[in-house]
Amino acid sequence: MKLSYIEKEVKIKTNIHEQYRHLIVQLQEHNYITYQHSIRVGNLLSLLGLRLGFSLKKTETLYIIGILHDIGKIHVPNRILNKSGKLTLNEWNELQLHPEYGIKLLKNIPLPSEVLSAIAAHHENLDGSGYPSGLTGDDIPYFAKMTRVVDSYDAMTYSRPYRKEGMSDEHAIIELKRGIGTFYEKEILDGFCEIIKENGKTT
């Protein structure tokens, strides 16, 4: 059942899924919450791409980035991914390796060029406070900046091991807007907020 669901989700959106479907299955088997999060981020990134005027081809690329952005968490132990309390410094350092793990898993798979650069930088912040490289401003690829916004929204609004109840959309938008210029790019966040106000949560 689960496999056919994945096949349906992935087949609809892209015609090059064959090369990485096995990784999505691995992620689903390793950590189902991260798998579900990734599918939602892919869906929302596609909507955001269309809203910001990207072509269908680029929008398809954004979907791929969404479903693969956390694929490196396959190599992060569940005792860290599912921990309900505060992470230790060592655990936090290990979690922060997931963009790098993702690049290693994907580097031999033919994917649009923007995919790896966006995955590598999806936790970078405009002000340089992100990871793994502390990139700033325009050194962060645009698709990574888009992923940062959508990823944060989904993390805020869905329950996580460390927080039972997700925030409302209204509350999440307030929180996201506080991060304009430090974490998030205004143009991207404005487009994204319009989508959320129109559609609410997608599944």
Amino acid at residue number 41? V
Binders of Fe ion: how many residues, by CB under 5 A? 1
Nearest residue relative to Fe ion (C-beta)? 70
Residue placing its CB nearer to Fe ion in the complex, 60 or 70: 70
> What is the nearest approach in angstroms of Fe ion to the Cβ of residue 151?
6
Residue placing its CB nearer to Fe ion in the complex, 7 or 80: 80
* Cβ atoms of 193 and 173 closer than 8 Å: yes
Binding track, positions 61-80, relative to Fe ion; x by CB under 5 A = ---------x----------
**Distant-in-sequence contacts of 1-7, Cβ < 8 A, 24+ apart:** 2/28
> What is the nearest approach in angstroms of Fe ion to the Cβ of residue 98?
6
Supply the DSSP symbol for 166: P
Residue placing its CB nearer to Fe ion in the complex, 7 or 114: 114
**Radius of gyration from C-alpha coordinates of the chain:** 16
**Sequence-separated (6 or more) residues with CB below 8 Å from residue 34:** 27, 70, 73, 81
Token match 């793990």: residue?
101
Residue placing its CB nearer to Fe ion in the complex, 70 or 154: 70
> What is the nearest approach in angstroms of Fe ion to the Cβ of residue 72?
8
Residue placing its CB nearer to Fe ion in the complex, 7 or 101: 101
Indicate whether 124 belongs to the interface with Fe ion (CB under 5 A): no
> What is the nearest approach in angstroms of Fe ion to the Cβ of residue 45?
13
> What is the nearest approach in angstroms of Fe ion to the Cβ of residue 4?
27
Residue placing its CB nearer to Fe ion in the complex, 101 or 142: 101
C-alpha–C-alpha distance, residues 88 and 70, integer Å: 20
C-alpha–C-alpha distance, residues 33 and 67, integer Å: 13
> What is the nearest approach in angstroms of Fe ion to the Cβ of residue 143?
14
* Cβ atoms of 37 and 159 closer than 8 Å: no
Most distant CA pair in the chain, distance = 44
Interacting residues toward Fe ion by CB under 5 A: 70
